[in-house]
Amino acid sequence: MLSRRSLLFFPLALEAAFLEPAFASDFVDSAGRTVRLPNSIKRIIPAGPPAEALLYSLAPDTLAGLIEPWTDSQKQAGIEKIRDLPMIPRITSRDGDLDMEALRALHADLIIDYGNIDERYNALADKVQSATGIPYLVLDGSLTKVPEIVRHLGAVLQREERAGDIAKTAEFALQKLMPVTSKAAGERISVYYARGGDGLRAVRSGSSLDEAIALAGGHNVIPPGDGTFSVISVGAVAALNPYIVVLADPKAAEPGAPLRQSLPAQTRFLVDSGLPYGWIERPPSLNRLIGALWLASNLYPGEISFSNGEAREMSVALFHRSPTDPMIQNLFH
């Protein structure tokens, strides 16, 4: 039975309860962490470039800032409200200690990491959430999980319609890629992919940067090993004899470039100049769905088609704006 003192304070306690910040629900993220989310989510910190691309696609107005400055080409391809956002710390960077006070000063409602699920990123999420008081979600960035992840996040952010459009686009791409994605190892066409002006900072197979190649039915000629990249020589690439070379920097694909001169004339060179984000892996986010389709259409033209019209439709569905035909034709050449 309530005492007289309890009855006197009960209305005040009830009023205080309603004044507490409202929480929508507990959310179990891809790492199995249970995170209490605020009822209103208006500002989100992306923990790294993949999360930035995800949020740019789903809810660009929630971005608290950009991880890296956008180039002029990115700004031309991006929506206006995003172009001049302030730079914010990259939480997932391996360099130096995080400035927790700088993160708190962003007054964000949520932090999202999108990518690999492993102990390092899980521990980082717990550390940052504890230090800043900002709820922190770790979401699986696998391409096959895009429809599921986007729909769950869309529900949290009350962007169900937009999330549905993105998810359907992802499902279209994954379904179209299925015949080549399921190819046996011995049937796959060899691919070499690298960053750098010399084209020698090669991506190892088995990493998230390699996922679009695998999804496109390609065989990455760089074997797994320590780290994401393998810095190799021109001679080593020639010995691997890839059928298709995909490069992030157009300088490495120029006619007089050492890499091009060292490979047979029949070797196909493709340059990824995707905008506002690269299509193969820069960053390793849902943008790779476009790159996987385009690469597959180059690897297996008799099995996979990917027209300029489809490229435009996917660009609008994922990143709000349609590239022009010249832009599309320059993406891979």
Tokens at 318, concatenated? 């994922």
Q: Could you report the per-residue pLDDT of 221-264, keeping only the tens digit for each?
A: 999 998 899 999 999 999 999 999 999 999 999 999 999 999 99
Q: Which residue has the higher pLDDT, 209 or 326?
A: 209
pLDDT confidence of residue 311: 87
Confidence (pTM): 0.89
Would you say 87 and 68 are in contact if contact means Cβ atoms under 8 Å apart?
yes
* 191: nearest Cα among 207, 212, 174, 175: 212
For residues 91 and 113, give the distance between their C-alpha atoms in angstroms, rounded to a whole number.
9
Please name the residues in contact with 77: beta carbons below 8 A apart, sequence gap of 6 or more. Answer: 275, 276, 319, 321, 323, 327
pLDDT confidence of residue 326: 59
Count the alpha carbons within 13 Å of 59 in the hemisphere toward its beta carbon. Answer: 25
Tokens at 301, concatenated? 């033209």
Tokens at 281, concatenated? 């892996």
Block residue for tokens 């750098």? 196
Q: Could you report the per-residue pLDDT of 81-107, keeping only the tens digit for each?
A: 888 899 999 999 877 689 999 999 999
Q: Which domains does the chain have, with CATH numbers?
A: 17-141 (3.40.50.1980), 182-331 (3.40.50.1980)
